[in-house]
């Protein structure tokens, strides 16, 4: 069975800008998703202020994934700086008008009619959409079923005495 080809070709290094308000995927989970979509790639993380999280990444990378949400504190030159660091840049529309012209692909949650009303769910939805724009498939799993371990025993027939 052949693996689907990634959206961007030649990606060997990825820089992820983590959201400052809600992190819906942990670093190891993101690294796993990204390396599955782009085999052989190395993943680095930074905060919305530009500080490295963990190992400091190289100056230039092949793909930048920016999870910065609307309203986050960020320098006015952050988007052009990310454009300069990455060959391909994917992110969210944060309200700055030049972000649409600097990034290759933008997810605009203000025009998405399917986004959930709950803040955490909407943040998870938006981050998943950004990953999909970057060519990283994310399969949403169903909800957890209720624990029935205490109910099952009461529905079984009584044991026979010998």
Query: Quick check: 1 pLDDT over 50?
Result: no
Reported as a single tens digit per residue, the pLDDT across 6-44 is 578 889 999 999 887 788 888 898 999 999 999 999 999
For the stretch 48-67, what's the b/e string if a residue is b when 16 or more beta carbons lie within 10 angstroms of its beta carbon? beeeeeeeebeeebbbbbbb
Query: Quick check: 2 pLDDT over 50?
Result: no
Longest Cα separation, the chain: 81
Neighbouring-strand partners of residue 17: 46, 66
Reported as a single tens digit per residue, the pLDDT across 134-157 is 999 887 666 666 777 777 767 777
Torsion sign (Cα): 59, 126, 42, 31? positive
Distance in angstroms (rounded) separating the CA atoms of residues 137 and 116: 20
Residues 6+ apart with CB under 8 A from 86: 15, 60, 61, 62, 63, 64
With contact defined as beta carbons under 8 Å apart, do 82 and 58 qualify? Answer: no
pTM of the model: 0.77
Residue 103's Cβ-side half-sphere holds a number of Cα atoms within 13 Å equal to 27
Q: Could you give the C-alpha distances from 113 to 34, 54, 125, 129, in angstroms and in order?
A: 27, 36, 12, 13
Reported as a single tens digit per residue, the pLDDT across 60-94 is 999 999 988 877 777 778 888 888 888 999 988 87
> How would residue 98 be classed by pLDDT, with cut points 50, 70 and 90?
low
- For the chain, helix (H) and strand (E) counts, in that order, are 5, 6
């Amino acid at each position: 069975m052949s693996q689907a080809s990634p959206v961007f070709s030649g990606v060997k290094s990825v820089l992820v800008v983590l959201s400052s308000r809600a992190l819906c995927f942990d670093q190891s989970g993101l690294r796993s998703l990204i390396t599955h979509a782009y085999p052989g790639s190395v993943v680095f993380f930074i905060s919305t202020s530009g500080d490295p999280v963990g190992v400091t990444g190289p100056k230039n990378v092949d793909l930048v994934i920016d999870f910065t949400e609307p309203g986050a504190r960020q320098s006015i030159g952050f988007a052009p700086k990310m454009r300069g660091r990455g060959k391909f840049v994917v992110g969210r529309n944060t309200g700055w008008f030049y972000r649409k012209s600097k990034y290759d692909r933008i997810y605009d949650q203000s025009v998405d009619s399917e986004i959930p009303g709950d803040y955490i769910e909407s943040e998870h939805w938006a981050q998943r959409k950004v990953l999909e724009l970057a060519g990283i498939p994310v399969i949403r799993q169903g909800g957890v079923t209720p624990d029935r371990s205490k109910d099952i025993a009461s529905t079984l027939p009584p044991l026979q005495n010998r």
